Amino acid sequence: MRAAQCTAATLKALWRTRRKSLVPIDQSGVWRFRELLPPFSDEQKILTLREGNTPLYSLPSSARAVGIEYLLAKHQGMNPTGSFKDTGMTVAASVARREGFRWVGCASTGNTSASMAAYATRAQMRSLVLIPHGKVAWGKLSQALDYGAITIELKTDFDGCSRILDEVVDRMPVYLLNSVNPYRIEGQKTAAVELLEQLDWQSPDHIIVPGGNLGNSSALGKALLELEELKFINRLPKLSIVQAEGANPLVRTMRETGGKKLISVQAETAASAISIGSPASWKKAVRVLEQTGGTVAEVSEVEIAWAKAQIGADGVGCEPASAVTLAGLKKMVQGGFVKPGESVVLILTGHLLKDPEFTLKFHRGKLFGGGPPPREAEILAPYRRAPIVLEASGDAVISALKQAEERSEA
Ligand code: F0G
């Protein structure tokens, strides 16, 4: 059955019923919505880790910090391998298995490779991972290794890894699992479907997403347009994209060419997941901005660090690349694009534990090269909590506790 053949009400009810099912593909937060995915007749070949099914949290402290009343976060970092990539990978890896591929491959800033390696090994497919040497967070690298990928660190950046992978795929029978793979985009659409289901099909005013290679924003935008077309929702949320200042090709493309010509950049940001200078899906992202009325924003390294700590203060946590959404929202509120009474959903794309090094450096005050932090970084001081090393005595601990109490009262 295809979505266009039945009413929205029928499908909404069917998808809800599947939540109670014991069948693995019904339990998947991606395949549960399979009427919106490309048909996959051989269900035995589907690879699922019960991806999707991610929580929608309120962020009350972060809402106050940016000056709006109500803020939600769809935490895609709560997927099986800790990032949103699983929602696309379950579909694309299943296709690779169905087509009989022995090898799958991707270039990655870390999360795609972790996800791909996990799904591939479950079907005894080999996986080839090309990552930029020294620029991938440890959590992600560890995952690719444990899930058995052939992991190659190339002495280049993400954009260089992508170019090499294209060459390898031309010459060898390796199935390409980068986000240009259309099946990944189809799977990633379901995050928006699940979000709207969680909101009882009432559209929020804004959805804000980080931008790297721009596959995710394209996927979410495609989902929103399809949901509107199929009458699941009666109004489109504005989908906005945030990038790091040091990796801002889409922001520059919009600002300098009105979205007509890609401005590539040499990417450099501590939010390593989105350190991408020449995004593959930029044209699709521009279309999504135009069709939904969204905007773009860029945020500094200090703003990213602030936003990550602030999301942590809500007890949620995410990786730096996800935190750009809150930093971008703050700018959109200040600039008047988001009004204080409007409803906003941030898409948090990766789990806090993906990049523990960033977090530890932040709390130890070493994020900005260990030297004196930029003046701007004074806003970070209240969020910093370096671990305290003490002699093993109750008195010492009680004294530290009292000091902390005095600081919080000050
Ligand atoms: N957030 C996280 C945590 C990511 O890992 C990525 C991309 C993005 C945001 C940006 O999404 O590329 O669809 O615009 N990571 C890719 C990877 C590039 O290889 O893991 P995008």
- Extract the tokens encoding 176: 């390409």
Instruction: Specify the residue with its C-alpha closest to ligand 1, atom 7.
Output: 273
CA 13, CA 257: separation in Å to the nearest integer?
A: 45
How remote is the CA of residue 354 from the centroid of ligand 1, in Å? 12
Residue 119's Cα: distance from chain center in Å? 18
Closest atom of ligand 1 relative to the 178 alpha carbon: 19
How remote is the CA of residue 105 from the centroid of ligand 1, in Å? 16
- Residue-wise pLDDT for 288-323, tens only, equals 999 999 999 999 999 999 999 999 999 999 999 999
Instruction: Specify the residue with its C-alpha closest to ligand 1, atom 15.
Output: 273
- 43: which DSSP letter? G
Closest atom of ligand 1 relative to the 350 alpha carbon: 3
How remote is the CA of residue 177 from the centroid of ligand 1, in Å? 13
Task: Report whether 113 contacts 138 (CB < 8 A).
Answer: no
CA 365, CA 203: separation in Å to the nearest integer?
A: 40
Instruction: Specify the residue with its C-alpha closest to ligand 1, atom 11.
Output: 212
How remote is the CA of residue 183 from the centroid of ligand 1, in Å? 16
CA distances 125 to 47, 103, 104, Å, are 12, 6, 7
- Extract the tokens encoding 228: 């509107």
What is the pLDDT at residue 410? 66
- Against a cut of 0.95, is the pTM above it? yes
Task: Report whether 101 contacts 83 (CB < 8 A).
Answer: no
CA 271, CA 263: separation in Å to the nearest integer?
A: 20
Instruction: Specify the residue with its C-alpha closest to ligand 1, atom 6.
Output: 273
What is the pLDDT at residue 320? 98
| Pocket-testing residue among 113, 216, 299, ligand 1, by greatest number of atoms within 8 A of Cβ | 216
Closest atom of ligand 1 relative to the 112 alpha carbon: 20
**Ligand 1 pocket by C-beta < 6 Å: which residues?**
83, 85, 108-112, 179, 210-217, 273-274, 319, 321-322, 349-350
How remote is the CA of residue 371 from the centroid of ligand 1, in Å? 29
- Residue-wise pLDDT for 365-375, tens only, equals 899 876 666 77
What is the pLDDT at residue 143? 98
How remote is the CA of residue 158 from the centroid of ligand 1, in Å? 11
Instruction: Specify the residue with its C-alpha closest to ligand 1, atom 4.
Output: 273
How remote is the CA of residue 143 from the centroid of ligand 1, in Å? 16
Within the chain, which residues score under 50 in pLDDT?
A: none
Classify 26 as helix, strand or coil: helix
Closest atom of ligand 1 relative to the 209 alpha carbon: 9
CA 311, CA 134: separation in Å to the nearest integer?
A: 26
What is the pLDDT at residue 375? 74
CA 81, CA 83: separation in Å to the nearest integer?
A: 6
What is the pLDDT at residue 179? 81
How remote is the CA of residue 11 from the centroid of ligand 1, in Å? 30
